[in-house]
Amino acid sequence: MSESNLDKILTITGRPGLFKMVAQTRKGVIAVSLSDQKKIVTNIRHQVNVLSEIRVFGLKDEMPISDIFERIYQLEKGQPARLKPKASKEELESYFFEVFQDYDKDRVYGSDIKKIIQWYNLLLDSNELKFELPKEEKPFNTE
């Protein structure tokens, strides 16, 4: 397993999408949007979250979002999520159950699942996910 580095990937309140931190200032950060490469400067009004610190509620334990992304990556064999983020709540929940069977359905909402799928696809498009797929096992030749 190769680790994806989400320590410089940010969410910023009031701004859609994800951002890559370029520099830190005394009162905020300078970041670049992963979707359109536009630069943004935050200040103390903006709440900034580092993606590597986000956890998803489980019935027993919380799971780091990087593990969720890796599970989607393995499920989709390195391709974008087959489910569109605009899918119905039932479809989103069914898909997420394939990814994380133990997720807490009372605390993880359809809107959260939608955001996770959007983020996964954005990170994949931006080459920010660095996971490896398992090697295909060759069938045993009996000849």
Whether residue 68 is found in the same domain as residue 93: yes
Provide the pLDDT for residue 120: 97
Q: Are residues 59 and 43 in the same domain?
A: no
Q: Is 15 helix (H, G, I), strand (E, B) or coil?
A: coil
Classify residue 106: in a domain, yes or no. Answer: yes
Q: Is 81 contained in some domain?
A: yes
pLDDT at 136: 65
Do residues 58 and 117 both lie within one domain?
yes
Residue 135 lies in a domain: no
Residue 30 shares a structural domain with residue 66: no
Residue 1 pLDDT: 35
pLDDT attached to residue 3: 44
Q: Where are the beta strands (DSSP E) in 1-143?
A: 9-12, 19-24, 29-33, 39-41, 48-50, 55-56, 63-64
In one letter, which amino acid is 115? Answer: K
The residue ranges of the chain whose pLDDT is under 50 are: 1-3, 138
Residue 24 sits in which domain range? 9-51
